[in-house]
Structure 1
Amino acid sequence: MSAELFARTYGRVPEVTASAPARANLLGEHTDYNNGFVFPAPLPFRTSVSLARTEGPEGAVEAVSANFDGRLKHAPGAPAAHHWADYVAGCVEILRGEGFAIPALQVAVAGDVPMGAGISSSAALEVATMRALNHLLGLGLDGRRIATLGQKAENQFVGMPCGIMDQMVSSLGEPGQALFLDTMTLATELVPLPANYIIAIVHSGVAHRLVDGGYKQRRQQCEEACALLGISSLRELGVSDLPRLEALPDILRRRARHIINDNQYVLDGIAALKAKDYKRFGELMSLSHLSEKDDYGITIEETDRLAEDAVTFGALGARQTGGGFGGCVLALVAADRAEAWWAAMAPRHPLARLIYPVAN
């Protein structure tokens, strides 16, 4: 993908090409920056990054993307410019800050990850960039280090206070398996996805944009709740501690309740998958969506209707995935019923589109 774009743009072949997948988060939303549990899975959508050394000052970047016109340039030490190339430049700046010598680079980016879908196109770009630089320069970074440096680029350079989930699953995930991640310890476990079922991904038709403020506000509210409860993170509380939340103002109580419940849904969901109780796993997906809607306030009318109708027409469960305020809904559907299921869904949601397993 990106190698051809690189050759067309710069008139030579790249030295290195690397790629990384997008992800769908099955359970555990906004729990990662609360030191909690998440349960994402990699998707067969990938971002590809090709690059090569070029003449110029150390840390300079010239980048081109298959999805945008023109070449963008980043000068060494310059701040974020609020465009897609910030994710590439951020990786370079973070590596330089870690003491690595990064030469001037020409970069090309391509892929099939739908942007604005809430399936983490940014993390895929960060991990692919880190992988390419790791290979080009022999940096010796393992998968976990690539993930944590990618998160650092997004937090410190781009300015998005995301948790570690997206980068970890993009870096460590395996096809056909979900990745249980304890974001406090970074312990992981791969869990096979249900046999004879598919995780359908439906774009609501409304692109999400986390940097608009809703995501940051939720994180701040969780921090306020922790301060009032005298704890360092909501991970310290379990469902037996829910009565303690009654001391909080209503908005903070609901935010904290979502995190505590969604952490438990992750643990219960893994147990259900291992027991092959797919009905229970679907129920937990739907419970998680209701928690996103009623307690965390990150769903929208379009995703609420999609999640409700998905179950009405035969899915075992459905939920909005990603940071929220638009994007995609996931539904657990029997593979042999998926086509009929979508045929029933589509007329009720003319702006929505099925992006996996079949694009329309």
Structure 2
Amino acid sequence: MKLSEIAMSTAKVDVDRLKSIFKSRYGTVPLVVKSPGRINVIGEHTDYNGGFVMPAAIDKAVYVAVSKREDNEIHLYAEDFKQSHEASLAELNISEKGWPNYILGVVDQIIKRNKAIGGFNLYIDGDVPPGAGLSSSAAVECATAFALDQVFNLGFPKMELTDIAQKAEHVFAGVSCGIMDQFASVFGKKDHAIMLDCRSMEYEYVPLNLSGYQFLLLNTKVKHSLADSAYNDRRAQCEQAVAWIKEAHPEVSTLRDVDMEMLEIYVKHRDVDVYEKCSYVVKENVRLIQAAGYLKDGNLKALGKLMFDTHDGLSKSYEVSCDELDYLVDAVRAEKSVLGARMMGGGFGGCTLNIVETEHISELVKKLSEDYDQKFGLKLEAYLVETAAGTGIVL
């Protein structure tokens, strides 16, 4: 297996072809906007606890081509689904097809902000692997919001575009996501990760120089049904711990305000399981601050160790991993070419994120693919990703 063959299972989008298809379908020349997917270097399940995250935009993106119409109709076409959808600005309804909701939700949010827009044509394509946990839905929302802002001269600042995209997912797609995905998609910067404070929304660009190493994503190709219920359970447990601590410390509002001593005193004797779950979150916030320091110093080896520690916390304390994810992380622990690995995302499936020495990636993927197939009877997918700029116009 050659390096060039790895995960380029997602072919790059040909922008000239996209424009040509759009013109033949709608008869006009479009504005084309590109919005990237994202990885999260470290800081998992900390966002809804008022903590820190460290996402980076990647070189896999969603592309939307948009042009104005002379009426108040919305005409959409999704290349991935080979489906069209039509709606009216006068009557926006949630679609059973699913995919139009990420676009219509953005329109709904723009209207709620009392901005005047007209009808439009929109064609969507992309090379973000669906179901891999790289936030393709956020990329769709951000690309749509940015494109409509440009086409109709709405004048939204970047932070409001991020909010529009997040609220679109809440209301029309029905997913109560945090802000990280949309923020990374809009604010991404090449060769940098973003240290984002999910409470204050203050952020800092952290240099991400992998020199001789690359990010390798290994897709388990599974998504276990536990994911949604476990997510709700974890949120409830975190909120319970905060409520107990608040009895003695009224100033505490989220786990961001909590340290291990507080958990020992106010939570552990009441519920050991809640204590265990919350100890992961508290420790993960500390790890993220350490990780930012290591990246500034160019210490990838120390960052890699933190990634392994994060995975162990997610697997053993927070209990959101699964056999497939654990297997892939354990399989690379002893590999000298791998500095760090962890599950990424909500859990119970999706990808592991690995930092691997470039010259050994091909042999590692080949070995892991064979072993994974033998163990689980599943085809492992691998993606090489690089950091990229955030949402913008494709010239």
TM-score over 0.5 for the alignment? Answer: yes
Write the distance in 2 (CA, Å) between the matches of 1:349 and 1:211: 22
Alignment partner of 1:353 is 2:381: yes
Are the counterparts in 2 of residues 228 and 248 from structure 1 also a CA contact under 8 Å?
no
Please say if 1:235 is aligned against 2:247: no
Distance 1:80 1:287, change over 3 A: farther
- CA–CA distance in structure 1, aligned partners of residues 87 and 44 of structure 2: 33
Alpha-carbon distance, 1:340 to partner: 2.9
> How far has the Cα of 1:56 moved from its partner?
4.0
Question: In 1, Cα distance between the equivalents of 2:87 and 2:346?
Answer: 28
For the residues of structure 2 that align with 1:357 and 1:127, how far apart are their CA atoms? 20
The worse-fitting range, judged by mean Cα deviation, of 221-230 and 117-126 is 221-230
Partner of 2:216: 200
**Is the 8 Å Cα contact of residues 238 and 264 (structure 1) preserved in structure 2?**
no
Partner of 1:258: 280
Secondary structure of the 2:321 match is coil
Q: Distance in 1 between matches of 2:163 and 2:270?
A: 33
Asked if the contact 1:147/1:168 (under 8 Å) is kept, the reply is yes
Where do 1:38-57 residues align within 5 Å?
A: 38-57=53-72
Distance in 1 separating the partners of 2:198 and 2:271: 27
Where does structure 2 lack aligned partners over 5 or more consecutive residues? Answer: 1-14, 247-251, 374-378, 387-395
Q: CA RMSD of the aligned region, Å?
A: 2.2
SS in 2 for 1:124: helix
1:166 aligns with 2:181: yes
2:290 equivalent in structure 1: 268
1:1-360 aligned at under 5 Å gives the runs 1=15, 2-14=18-30, 16-57=31-72, 60-75=73-88, 76-79=91-94, 81=96, 83-193=98-208, 194-207=210-223, 212-230=228-246, 231-243=252-264, 244-314=266-336, 315-350=338-373, 351-357=379-385
- C-alpha distance 9-251 of structure 1, shift in aligned 2 (>3 A): farther
- In structure 2, what residue type is equivalent to 1:172? F
User: Offset of 1:77 from its aligned partner?
Assistant: 3.5
Provide the C-alpha distance between the structure 2 equivalents of 1:248 and 1:332, rounded to a whole number of angstroms: 39
CA distance in 2 between partners of 1:221 and 1:181 (Å): 24
In 1, the alpha carbon distance for the partners of 2:226 and 2:109 equals: 22
Runs of 4+ in 1 over 6 A off after TM superposition: 208-211
Q: What is the deviation of 1:202?
A: 1.0
> Does the 8 Å CA contact 1:239/1:264 hold for their aligned counterparts?
no
Question: Contact 1:313–1:344 (CA<8 Å) still a contact in 2?
Answer: no
Cα distance change of structure 1 residues 300 and 161 upon mapping to structure 2, 3 Å threshold: same
Q: Which moved more, 1:280-289 or 1:140-149?
A: 140-149
Q: Report the AA paired with residue 22 of structure 2.
A: F
Question: Which whole-Å deviations, capped at 9, do the CAs of 1:287-323 have from their partners, x for residues lacking one?
Answer: 1111111222221211111111122333111011112
Does the aligned pair in 2 maintain the 1:272–1:281 contact within 8 Å? yes
* Secondary structure in 2 matching 1:312: coil
What is the number of residues matched between the two proteins? 355
- Segment drifting more, 245-254 vs 63-72: 245-254
- The structure-2 alpha-carbon separation of the partners of 1:157 and 1:288, relative to structure 1 and needing over 3 Å to count, comes to same
Deviation at 1:282, TM superposition (A): 0.6
Compare 158-167 and 233-242 and name the one that shifted more: 233-242
Unaligned ranges ≥5, structure 1: none
The alignment partner of 1:246 has SS state of: coil
Aligned to 2:9: none
TM-score w.r.t. the length of structure 1 is: 0.91
In structure 2, relative to structure 1, the CA distance for the partners of 1:148 and 1:208 (3 Å cut) is farther
Structure 2 counterpart of 1:69, which letter?
A: K
SS in 1 for 2:333: helix
How many Å apart are 1:253 and its aligned residue? 2.2
The amino acid of 1:290's aligned partner reads: D
Letter matched to residue 116 of structure 1: G
Q: Is the 8 A contact 1:18 1:131 kept in 2?
A: yes
In 1, the alpha carbon distance for the partners of 2:345 and 2:237 equals 18
- Distance in 1, matches of 2:333 and 2:235, equals 30
- Which range moves more in the overlay, 86-95 or 97-106? 97-106
- Larger mean CA deviation between 338-347 and 304-313 belongs to 338-347
Identity of aligned residues (%): 31
Q: Are the structure 2 counterparts of residues 241 and 93 from structure 1 closer, same or farther at C-alpha, using a change threshold of 3 Å?
A: same
Q: Distance in 1 between matches of 2:60 and 2:224?
A: 18
Q: Identify if the C-alpha distance between structure 1 residues 250 and 82 changes in structure 2 by more than 3 Å, giving closer, same or farther.
A: farther
3-state SS of 2:128 partner: coil
- Within 1, Cα distance between the matches of 2:225 and 2:43? 19
Q: Is the alpha carbon distance of 1:7 and 1:218 closer, same or farther for their aligned partners in structure 2, counting shifts above 3 Å? A: farther
Of residues 149-158 and 83-92 in structure 1, the stretch that sits farther from structure 2 once superposed is: 149-158
Per-residue deviation at 1:248? 4.3
Cα 1:208–1:118 shift into 2, 3 Å:
farther
The one-letter code matched in structure 2 to 1:6 is F
| Structure 2: distance between partners of 1:107 and 1:328 | 30
TM-score scaled by structure 2?
A: 0.84
